[in-house]
Structure 1
Amino acid sequence: MKEKIEDKKAALLKAALDLFTERGFHGASTAQISKEAGVATGTLFNYFPTKEDLINDLYFDVKGKLSRSMGEDLQTQSTFHDKLKKIWYNMIEWGLNNPEDFLFVGQFCSSPYITNYTREIVMKEYVFLHDLVKEGITNGDIKDYSAELVMAMFYQSSRTVVSFILDSEPQDKDKVIADGFQVIWEGLVKK
């Protein structure tokens, strides 16, 4: 029985992701989301009491997937540079493999529909990156910038690279990814 419930919830989240990225929050009604998911509208409200709850659950779900992807195989890297580079490559790969999810995060991370509570909970998933940046500053690997600023710049730069690759389909996407990291690295590293 639990599997059936999870299937319906997953179908609703997927339909919401598709419609929100295509039409925005206002352009996607709960009735449309339910129809796209193949469930009754009342069923949607069994899982998500309000549209805002659905938006926040989806945001939490997608940001959690991104965070887990960013941290994959991080323990195999030994230097600050290599760890940051691994996170970069993981992030870009996730964005290219999950363009709707990546678009959703980019479109709605500053949305008034996402509650402060959800943002706080989501940021707990990124403590590893915050700690890594602080470690890089403390060890003198990078300039003494705000860790929050570095994280924001890192994320926004990754969005730019993913969008560039998806929109223009460059012949040498590996070079674009490497160049993108180099731009970030040269802006951070002490010379």
Structure 2
Amino acid sequence: MARPKSDIKRKAILDAAVELFAERGIAHAPTSAISSRAGVAEGTLFTYFKTKDELLNELYREMRKEIDQEMADFPFSADVRARLRFVWDRFLDLAERHPKQLKVQQQLRSSGRLLKDAEAPNMVITELLRASREGAKVGGLHEASPEYLVLMFRAQAEATAEFIAAHEEMRSESRELGFKLVWRALIGQ
């Protein structure tokens, strides 16, 4: 009979993957290095994740779950501006607390190795799509794809997070200016 899998080992593998992917990039972080950093045998890594691609997809799902948990008190009934601002602020808060995760998420999205179910809309994407549709109607961007607007929102948020990381003294102004740019692009005001 096989031993039950340990949540502690699984988490250690995922945490090690984040560290190494952030340091080296996905392509330059072999499973042997991930298992070594996690303090487990490479065979143990493959007990939890059959392939490196499975590890990548599970890591992405876990990071998205964490984002959803951060949004647990989302103001569903607020106006579109307040909802977008809520997502903006929470995204930047997470990026400041977990800069390596942001870097790894960017790599994972651009890797071409994520499965469709890993990229399926989560609560944040669903609400951003809804808010983008509403905002576009108000601002006259109804012809723009909501998916495009979400990508634009995320790109601006990621650029703002990177700028803040390099210029902490401009944190408050950067957060405000970044959101104003997103809002103006969406609403045209």
User: What TM-score comes out, normalization by structure 1 length?
Assistant: 0.88
Residue 9 of structure 1 contacts residue 47 of structure 1 at CA under 8 Å; is this kept in 2? Answer: yes
Which residue of structure 2 lines up, in the alignment, with residue 173 of structure 1? Answer: 171
Please list every run of 5 or more consecutive structure 1 residues that lacks an aligned counterpart in the other structure. Answer: none
Secondary structure of 1:75's counterpart equals: coil
Tell me, in whole angstroms, the C-alpha distance in 2 between the residues paired with 1:57 and 1:26: 17
Tell me, in whole angstroms, the C-alpha distance in 1 between the residues paired with 2:48 and 2:148: 36
| Equivalent residue for 1:187, pick from 167, 175, 185 | 185
Residue 17 of structure 2 contacts residue 34 of structure 2 at CA under 8 Å; is this kept in 1? Answer: yes
Indicate the larger mover: 175-184 or 22-31.
22-31
User: What TM-score comes out, normalization by structure 2 length?
Assistant: 0.89
Give the deviation of 1:142 after TM superposition: 5.7
Give the deviation of 1:178 after TM superposition: 0.6
Give the deviation of 1:106 after TM superposition: 1.4
Residue 68 of structure 2 contacts residue 122 of structure 2 at CA under 8 Å; is this kept in 1? Answer: no
Does the alignment pair 1:161 with 2:160?
yes
Residue 136 of structure 2 contacts residue 186 of structure 2 at CA under 8 Å; is this kept in 1? Answer: no
Tell me, in whole angstroms, the C-alpha distance in 1 between the residues paired with 2:81 and 2:46: 46
Tell me, in whole angstroms, the C-alpha distance in 1 between the residues paired with 2:76 and 2:149: 23
Which residue of structure 1 lines up, in the alignment, with residue 87 of structure 2? Answer: 87
Please give the per-residue CA displacement for 1:69-109, whole angstroms capped at 9, x wherever unaligned: 2x343227622111111111111111111101111111221
Which residue of structure 1 lines up, in the alignment, with residue 73 of structure 2? Answer: 73
Report the identity percentage: 28
Please list every run of 5 or more consecutive structure 2 residues that lacks an aligned counterpart in the other structure. Answer: none
Matched positions, count: 185
Give the deviation of 1:40 after TM superposition: 1.1
Opposite residue 183 of structure 2, the aligned amino acid is W
Tell me, in whole angstroms, the C-alpha distance in 1 between the residues paired with 2:118 and 2:58: 8
Residue 72 of structure 1 contacts residue 90 of structure 1 at CA under 8 Å; is this kept in 2? Answer: no
Distance change >3 Å, CA 142–CA 58, structure 1 → 2: farther
Tell me, in whole angstroms, the C-alpha distance in 2 between the residues paired with 1:102 and 1:66: 11
Residue 63 of structure 1 contacts residue 105 of structure 1 at CA under 8 Å; is this kept in 2? Answer: no
Secondary structure of 2:14's counterpart equals: helix
Indicate the larger mover: 77-86 or 157-166.
77-86
Tell me, in whole angstroms, the C-alpha distance in 1 between the residues paired with 2:76 and 2:146: 23
Which residue of structure 1 lines up, in the alignment, with residue 55 of structure 2? Answer: 54
Tell me, in whole angstroms, the C-alpha distance in 2 between the residues paired with 1:190 and 1:161: 20
